[in-house]
């Protein structure tokens, strides 16, 4: 199957700093990438949808100025948590969908990035 | 809107026991149904899927049948192993861009 890689897997930062998480599709081109957030013992919550070369579409309740998403190429999307606070500590997961007809349109998930804000 | 309801966990079983994790859904149209697995500290992996009514998805000994009449997609395995311990998510896709997930069910298998 296709591979989606996230980096870093773990990150610990101080309150007030910004953290960037990368999501790469390693062996296919992804026109659309999705960012999710997972709280402990809960399901995944979609944060935003990003399409290559255009602005991300954020779900209701997600602060777009706090969670900056960039999808600059067909293989890379980034999520930047700006001025992070302890309540932003969470597990962030990305998924990618290939070009129409590629990989059957299936979603492939990254390994996730665990953010801890002190 | 679309929704997925899973049985609450944790589900605790002994090795070689039979597993059932219930999943029911609400959706407009004819969704595709999925089971994802999340091993400790890792991201999600697709376990199996079914795209139309009466289809059976299967992988690694796990099975689930798309039942339109009961709007269900229960996950089953005849003999679980310790390595099956993980969180299992039922999900559906009904034409929107991404998936709607259930809350997940933790499975703990003891030797």
Q: For residue A40, is pLDDT > 80?
A: no
Q: Is the pLDDT of residue A70 over 70?
A: yes
The DSSP secondary structure of chain A, one letter per residue, reads ---EEEE-SEEEE-TT--EEEEEEESSS-EEEEEEEEE-TTS-EEEEEEEETTS--EEPTT--TTTEEEEEEETTEEEEEE-S--GGG-EEEEEEEEESTTGGGG-EEE---EEEEE-
Using the predicted structure, report yes or no on whether residue B107 has a pLDDT greater than 70.
yes
With a pLDDT cut of 70, the percent of chain A lying above it is: 92
| Residue A30 forms contact with B (CB below 8 Å) | no
Q: Model confidence over B36-79: pLDDT tens digits?
A: 998 887 778 889 999 889 999 999 999 999 999 999 999 999 99
Tokens of A54: 């255009």
Query: CA A1 to CA A4: how far, in whole Å?
Result: 10
Position A105 scores a pLDDT of 61
- Asked if A107 and B101 come within 8 Å (Cβ–Cβ), the reply is no
Q: How confident is the model at residue B30 (pLDDT cuts 50, 70, 90)?
A: confident
Q: Are A45 and A107 in contact (CB under 8 A)?
A: no
> What pLDDT band is residue A99 in, cutting at 50, 70 and 90?
low
Sequence-separated (6 or more) residues with CB below 8 Å from residue A112: A6, A9, A38, A91, A92, A93, B42, B43, B44
B102:A43 CB<8 A: yes
Which chain B residues contact residue A112 at CB under 8 A? 42-44
Q: Which of B10, B37, B42, B44 to mutate to test the interface with A (most CBs of A within 10 A)?
A: B44
């Amino acid at each position: 199957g296709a591979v989606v890689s996230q980096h870093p897997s773990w990150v610990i930062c101080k309150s007030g700093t910004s953290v960037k998480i990368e999501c790469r599709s390693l062996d296919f081109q992804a026109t659309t990438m999705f960012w999710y957030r997972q709280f402990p013992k809960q399901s995944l919550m979609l944060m935003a949808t990003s399409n290559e070369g255009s602005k991300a579409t954020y779900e209701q309740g997600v602060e777009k100025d706090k969670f900056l998403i960039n999808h600059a190429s067909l293989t890379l999307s980034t999520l930047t948590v700006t001025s992070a606070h302890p309540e932003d500590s969470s597990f962030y997961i990305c998924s990618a969908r290939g070009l129409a007809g590629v990989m059957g349109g299936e979603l492939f998930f990254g390994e996730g990035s665990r953010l801890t804000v002190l | 809107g679309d929704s997925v309801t899973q049985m609450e966990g944790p589900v605790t079983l002994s090795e070689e026991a039979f597993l059932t994790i219930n999943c029911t859904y609400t959706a407009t149209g004819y969704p595709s149904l999925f089971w994802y697995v999340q091993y400790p500290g890792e991201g999600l992996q697709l376990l199996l899927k079914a795209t139309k009514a009466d289809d059976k998805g299967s992988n690694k000994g796990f099975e689930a049948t798309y039942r339109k009449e009961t709007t269900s997609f229960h996950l089953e395995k005849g003999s679980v192993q310790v390595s099956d311990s993980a969180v299992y998510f039922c999900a559906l896709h009904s034409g929107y861009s991404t998936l709607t997930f259930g809350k997940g069910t933790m499975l703990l298998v003891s030797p």
